[in-house]
Amino acid sequence: MGFEFTEEQRMIREMVKKLVTEKIAPRAAEIDESNDFPYDIKEAFVENGLLKMGLPEEYGGIGANVATICMVMEEVSKVSFTAASLFFSVHLIIDLLFSVGNKEQKKKYFGLLSRGDKIAAMAVTEPNVGSDLSSMRTRAVLIGDNYILNGTKCFISLGGVADLYGVYASTSPEKRTRGLSAFIVERETSGFSIGKIENPMGMRGSASSEIILEDVKVPKEDLLGKEGDGFSILVNSLNVERLWFASMALGTSQGALDYATQYAKERVQFGKPIAEFQGIQFMLADMAIQVEVGRSILYDAASQIDRGVEDGGLKSAIAKCFITDAAMKVTTDAVQVLGGYGYMKEYPVERMMRDAKATQIAAGTNQIQRVLIARSLLGK
């Protein structure tokens, strides 16, 4: 506990705040309305080196740790959840390569990402495979020097626009989760295509899509770890992903709280600002409690990962559950504070409420987080 940002982290946050105010805030509602991927925001991120922050210095990054990435995502999500997802996805691949990539894979893919203009996506979910990964249907068969991948993935964030994908497939279906393997796949690979682009409730503009793999030839050098390591690779990757998702939920909550607080000071009913009614004050106070507690839990869990402390993902699951459930409550209450206006698209809080809902489902639903927490408590 007692986490504090360093001077460098504070400087990064100021840079991100400026970018958010100037480039992202004016576009957030349009991105949501159109569901079009925001290439202009991507360019702004590229110009500011954000898409390579997590890379080692020799590849043009600053080796940003888990807490720093959380901080950037929290800042961006205060105004646009979708813009934060763009920053998030490329760092998932960087984290994956850091954790399990061998020397050659790091050289090849850190090199590819070093210009800071690439987008990545993580492809796990399938139409019939969500929480239960043991029944994954995407297959990878080693023929000669290549794995041949076949299958369909769905709901893949940034899937429609990414350059690089982390793809999970089964190399030994009879071994269930122990038969899963992880691969890096480039978009240009023959047989790889983008299916339906989704029309989601929230996180709109994030090019959520199906990925179709038809005899996709992946060189065996692009297998991460060994055959059958996929499940443990995914579990470790999810420990970080959950915190990054939680940081997006936290930013969304803070954005909604800030908006609702300001609105309450300005909206006059019964001859005075509604902020003077205790019913509204208590609602705002409860929102602030959820945000502050969530922030403490988040950075405590992030710094634990950065210090290399192992707990089997317990803190990460607790943080994901608490902060994303809180985001749903805080954003719903923000709509309530704005009354009828809160329900209308002219105001950002209804968008924040829709975005918050995504955080309770993606990166492992909150029911699955509770299963993990209970297992840890019961020593299973």
Ligand X SMILES: Cc1cc2nc3c(=O)[nH]c(=O)nc-3n(C[C@H](O)[C@H](O)[C@H](O)COP(=O)(O)OP(=O)(O)OC[C@H]3O[C@@H](n4cnc5c(N)ncnc54)[C@H](O)[C@@H]3O)c2cc1C
119 binds ligand X (CB under 6 A): no
Q: Which of 48, 114, 232, 365 binds ligand X (CB under 6 A)?
A: 365
Distance (Å) of CA 99 to CA 57, 80, 134, 235: 17, 29, 23, 12
Which region among 16-24, 41-49, 50-58, 151-159 touches ligand X (by CB under 6 A)?
Answer: 151-159
122 binds ligand X (CB under 6 A): yes
50 binds ligand X (CB under 6 A): no
For ligand X, the closer of residues 280 and 327 by Cβ is 327
Q: Which of 10, 344, 367, 375 binds ligand X (CB under 6 A)?
A: 367
135 binds ligand X (CB under 6 A): no
Strand pairing category for 268-269 and 139-143: unpaired
Q: What are phi and psi of 230, to 5 degrees?
A: -55, -45
Q: Which of 67, 124, 240, 301 binds ligand X (CB under 6 A)?
A: 124
Which region among 57-65, 115-123, 137-145, 261-269 touches ligand X (by CB under 6 A)?
Answer: 115-123
> Exposure of 104 by Cβ count < 10 A (0-12 exposed, 13-18 middle, 19+ buried)?
exposed
For ligand X, the closer of residues 66 and 362 by Cβ is 362
Quote the least distance from Cβ 176 to ligand X, whole Å. Answer: 15
For ligand X, the closer of residues 256 and 337 by Cβ is 256
| Residue number of the CB atom closest to ligand X | 130
362 binds ligand X (CB under 6 A): yes
Which region among 39-47, 155-163, 258-266, 313-321 touches ligand X (by CB under 6 A)?
Answer: 155-163
Q: Which of 156, 318, 335, 356 binds ligand X (CB under 6 A)?
A: 156
Q: Which of 6, 99, 131, 269 binds ligand X (CB under 6 A)?
A: 131
In 3D space, the residue among 288, 287, 305 whose CA is nearest the CA of residue 243 turns out to be 305
The one-letter amino acid at 40: D
Packing angle, helices 81-100 and 230-266, rounded to 10: 150
Distance (Å) of CA 84 to CA 38, 58, 78: 11, 25, 9
Residues 284-290: contacts with CB under 8 Å, at least 24 apart: 284/257, 284/260, 284/337, 286/333, 287/253, 287/256, 287/257, 287/260, 287/329, 287/330, 287/333, 287/334, 288/257, 290/253, 290/326, 290/329, 290/330
157 binds ligand X (CB under 6 A): yes
125 binds ligand X (CB under 6 A): yes
CA dihedral 298, 301, 306, 309 (to 10 degrees): 180
155 binds ligand X (CB under 6 A): yes
CA atoms of 241 and 225, how far apart (whole Å): 19
Quote the least distance from Cβ 50 to ligand X, whole Å. Answer: 19
Give 86's contacts (C-beta < 8 A, 6+ positions apart): 38, 41, 42, 45, 51, 119, 158, 206
CA atoms of 155 and 130, how far apart (whole Å): 10
- CA torsion sign, 122 to 237 to 64 to 11? positive
Quote the least distance from Cβ 235 to ligand X, whole Å. Answer: 13
For ligand X, the closer of residues 194 and 288 by Cβ is 194
Quote the least distance from Cβ 99 to ligand X, whole Å. Answer: 17
In 3D space, the residue among 348, 134, 179, 189 whose CA is nearest the CA of residue 256 turns out to be 348
At 120, which helix (H) or strand (E)? strand 120-123
Q: 149: which strand partners?
A: 140, 216
290 binds ligand X (CB under 6 A): no
For ligand X, the closer of residues 123 and 349 by Cβ is 123
Which region among 122-130, 232-240, 281-289, 337-345 touches ligand X (by CB under 6 A)?
Answer: 122-130
Q: Which of 20, 79, 148, 203 binds ligand X (CB under 6 A)?
A: 203
Which region among 8-16, 123-131, 278-286, 339-347 touches ligand X (by CB under 6 A)?
Answer: 123-131
Binding site for ligand X (CB under 6 A): 121-125, 130-131, 155-157, 203, 358, 361-362, 364-365, 367-368, 371
